[in-house]
Amino acid sequence: MAGRKLLLLLKPFDVYTVRQSNGISHITNPLMAQILQHLENRCKVHKDAINFCQDILSKKPIEWEPVFRNNLSRPIRNVDLVVTVGGDGTLLQAGHLIDDSIPVLGVNSDPTQVEEVDMFSNEFDASRSKGYLCAATVNNFEQLLDNILEGKTVPSNLSRILIRVNSKSLPTFALNDILIAHPCPAMVSRFSFKIKSDGMPCSPLVNCRSSGLRVSTAAGSSAAMLSAGGFIMPILSHDLQYMVREPISPAAATSSLMHGLVKSDQSMEAMWFCKEGFVYIDGSHVFVSIQNGDVIEISSKAPALKVFLPPNLVY
């Protein structure tokens, strides 16, 4: 890859900045001052990581360009590698703009410090970035980059979700999960779904009143799906996991049809029965509106995303 192009995609480093003109010094509540200082420290660690990665890249025989993720909305093309500096959120955003030809290396710029979490456990949550999909930190970034440039390390193919609304494919693929729900979380979502294989139903039709339907990839099974009671899937699996969130009927809550798998050769077809709704893609920032009678088809037939993963996820 020597002599080729690299895009450095950055999480903004002012996300946690204390914006008051006189900083933290005017805060009289000791706990609040401590929390704000923690956030300021996070900002500094992230900014230092950006500078570190840029210094490393300046020494390599490659052409590279830094871009803050908020300033990038068009598909990423004409580069040979994308390096994201932030956490899983920055890598997810890159995944929305990349096809299956450009690999991604995630740098966790602000890893959680176990000692810090323990120290403040009785006061506030001092967790930082989990960086589940990020193979690099400042400690190993240069070595990983060298291995990639020399062809010693190859990326893994992560499944993404292809979403079709009324037979029209959405331009964005989900790397983690999708949530089909009413825009107001207090409202009941009404929908039905069935699993299909080769265009024919292979499961009963399930009618639901709940707070929504979540479908995750293997990569996303360790995120919101796990928190909701799902299970972690092998990272390279091409199956999808689904769960009906908070079904209203007591009988439905215990039904095996509320939680299961959509195999790689299958698809899920859901029909929406509310006046309005959204399909949320990898969180709350990317979404598509749906309305009564819309049919949403979900499968793992999207182009894979090439990601250099941490060794513990692959082996």
**CA–CA separation, 224 vs 169, rounded Å?**
24
Cβ proximity of 210 and 150 under 8 Å: no
Looking at the structure of the chain, the number of domains it has is 2
In a domain, 24, yes or no: no
Is residue 315 in a domain?
Answer: no
Last-in-domain residue among 103, 125, 154: 154
Last residue of a domain, one of 135, 154, 173: 154
Helix (H, G, I), strand (E, B) or coil at 125: coil
What's the CA gap between 222 and 231, in Å, rounded?
Answer: 7
Same domain, 138 and 248: no
Residue 249 lies in a domain: yes
pLDDT value of position 3: 56
Query: Residue 312 falls within a domain, yes or no?
Result: no
The CA-based angle 260-176-87, given to 5 degrees, is 145
Flag whether 298 is in a domain: yes
Domain that holds residue 224: 161-302
pLDDT computed for residue 40 by the predictor: 83
Residues contacting residue 97 through CB under 8 Å, at least 6 positions apart: 72, 73, 74, 75, 76
Q: What is the pLDDT of residue 34?
A: 77
Q: What are phi and psi for residue 245, nearest 5 degrees? A: -85, 125
Q: Which residues of the chain have pLDDT under 50?
A: 2, 16, 19-21
Q: What is the CATH number of the domain that holds 206?
A: 2.60.200.30
Say whether both 193 and 288 belong to one domain.
Answer: yes
* 19 belongs to a structural domain: no
Residues 71 and 206 in one domain: no
Secondary structure class of 37 (helix, strand, coil):
helix
pLDDT of residue 39: 79
| pTM summary value | 0.90
Rounded Cα distance between 105 and 48, Å, is: 18
Among the candidates 134, 154, 174, a domain finishes at 154
Q: Indicate whether 196 and 273 sit together in one domain.
A: yes
Give the alpha-carbon dihedral of 10, 15, 20, 21, to 10 degrees: 0
- Claim to verify: residue 230 and residue 287 sit in the same structural domain: yes
Of the candidates 34, 191, 192, the residue with the CA atom closest to the CA atom of residue 123: 34
- Examine the domain organization and report whether 217 and 150 are in the same domain: no
172, 128: one domain: no
pLDDT at 14: 63
